[in-house]
Amino acid sequence: MNPKDLAGRSVLVTGASGFIGSHLCRRLAEAGATVHAASRRAQDDREGLRWHAADLADSSAVRALVERAEPEVVFHLASQVAGSRSLELVAPTFHANLASTVYLLEAATRAGCRRFVQAGSLEEGEDGAPPAVPASPYAAAKIAASGYARMFHALYETPIVVARIFMVYGPAQLDLKKLVPYVILSLLRGEPVKISSGTRPVDWVYVDDVVEGLLRLALTDGVEGRQVDLGTGELTTVRGVVEKLYERLTPGKSPEFGGLGDRPMEQVVAARAEETEKLLGWRPSTSLDEGLEATIDYYRAANERRTLSSSSATAAS
């Protein structure tokens, strides 16, 4: 299974300016694909990337985007990623995460795309069996979006696969409220670190591994209609990750936990890594220690160049 099998093929990536999307676009361009990168804001084209500004919550804009790109493969990564339980997020998350998915599924199905890889979430249950109660507006929208994906596959034979992506971390995560960049930058700058009890166990997966998993999902036969986990299958608490960062950046100093309250109804689940390996012949290869070292190196260099904004914000894992 070689990403260069995508050479010369038209590939549409939504959420292309985001954390996972930017890493994926780079790998696709390196593989020789014709990458149509979609985001809300226009960017300049560069080698291997053709940028499109599109509001995916607008059905006509989605149809026009698909008509321009004529994709053989779609990676739908665009999403409003916020774990907050706020009522104010319900409508924006519905439009950004659910309506946009339905519009893109319809347009891609009509265009006859050969593979549609949809980014799911660890907030979803396994194989269409969601939690009894979604834990956030984000979780509710993601669960519903995957339900539509299964319907499109069953009724219209859309060649879709849902990637159930676990907690991604790594270099160039620009949402500095996320736990790993928040803690790293706070320690580098000598700023106070405010975090929860840290007791939640999480399946942490390095961004480059996620990208390789997504590429496999685009190229592997027989996974259509499936939900496939992209994670390590191993759980490490938030506390454990924070302690590893302290050991590397401020040895001898211990973190203080409990400065923030724990969010209610957090999901605790590990990826079905062995099942994914059987389907794709792949599993994550970057250990948590290796991934954190690479991530620290990135943010240390970026901080020295002063190319990042202040990290003084509440962390959200």
- What structural domains and CATH numbers belong to the chain? 1-165 (3.40.50.720)
Contact 151/277 with Cβ under 8 angstroms?
no
Residue 46, beta-bridge partner list:
49
- Indicate the average pLDDT of the chain: 89
Q: CA geometry: angle at 237 spanning 235 and 243, to 5°?
A: 130
- For the record, the structure tokens of 18 come out as 């985001």
**Taking 70 as the threshold, does the pLDDT of residue 218 lie above it?**
yes
Contact 34/46 with Cβ under 8 angstroms?
no
* pLDDT reported for residue 309: 66
**Taking 80 as the threshold, does the pLDDT of residue 289 lie above it?**
yes
Position 316 confidence tier, pLDDT thresholds 50, 70, 90: low
* pLDDT reported for residue 116: 98
* pLDDT reported for residue 202: 95
Query: Which range is least confidently modeled, 107-111, 150-154, 303-307?
Result: 303-307
Residue 133 amino acid letter: V
Query: Which range is least confidently modeled, 11-20, 254-263, 272-281?
Result: 254-263
Instruction: Give me the mean pLDDT over the 35-47 stretch.
Output: 83
* pLDDT reported for residue 161: 97
How would you classify the pairing of strands 115-119 and 236-237? Answer: unpaired
Position 204 confidence tier, pLDDT thresholds 50, 70, 90: very high
Position 83 confidence tier, pLDDT thresholds 50, 70, 90: low
**Taking 90 as the threshold, does the pLDDT of residue 261 lie above it?**
no
Percent composition of the chain: helix, strand, coil (DSSP 3-state, to 5):
40, 15, 40
Q: CA geometry: angle at 279 spanning 277 and 284, to 5°?
A: 30
Identify the CA nearest to 28 among candidates 54, 53, 8. Answer: 8
Position 314 confidence tier, pLDDT thresholds 50, 70, 90: low
- For the record, the structure tokens of 264 come out as 């209610």
Residue 116's H or E segment, with its range, is: strand 115-119
Instruction: Give me the mean pLDDT over the 50-59 stretch.
Output: 93
Name 175's Cβ contacts closer than 8 Å, sequence gap at least 6. 19, 81, 181
